[in-house]
Amino acid sequence: MEIDELEQPSGHAVESGSTNSEAESIKPMNCVDFQRDLPLIIDTGGNAEQEEHLRTCPVCGDLVADLRYIAEQAKLLIPMRDPSPKVWSNIEDRLKREGLVKSAQGRRG
């Protein structure tokens, strides 16, 4: 499979302006096709066929719910740990050796 194909979700777009027969005209999608397209549509939304499959398929519905939940929880992670004190000690030594800091009495260099 060519990489470029990853950029083109499968499925048939429903024409705009469809009437009450829109649901009837949506070609049923199977889990294989839906989950193949999922990487490209999960963060941006899918076409009518994909949305319909998601709405009606408990397997794919639960899968998407889990993946969205994981992404949302990851967003909430905050930095929790500090580096050891030696990291600053090493930085401080290097700054002085490279002449990037000036002493209290002299010029930088």
The single-letter code of the amino acid at 44 is: T
C-alpha to C-alpha distance for 51 and 73, rounded to whole angstroms: 23
49 in helix, strand or coil? helix
Q: Which residues bind other proteins (CB under 8 A)?
A: 1, 3-4, 6-7, 30-32, 34-35, 38-46, 51, 54-55, 58-84, 86-88, 90-92, 94-95, 98, 100-103, 108
Residue 26 or residue 38: which is nearer to other proteins going by CB? 38
Minimum distance from residue 95 beta carbon to other proteins (Å): 6
The residues, ordered by sequence, that sit 6+ positions from 86 with a Cβ below 8 Å of its Cβ are: none
Residues 9 and 46: beta-carbon distance below 8 Å: yes
Residue 1 or residue 17: which is nearer to other proteins going by CB? 1
Minimum distance from residue 63 beta carbon to other proteins (Å): 5
Handedness of CA 89, 91, 96, 102 (dihedral sign): negative
Minimum distance from residue 15 beta carbon to other proteins (Å): 19
Residue 27 or residue 102: which is nearer to other proteins going by CB? 102
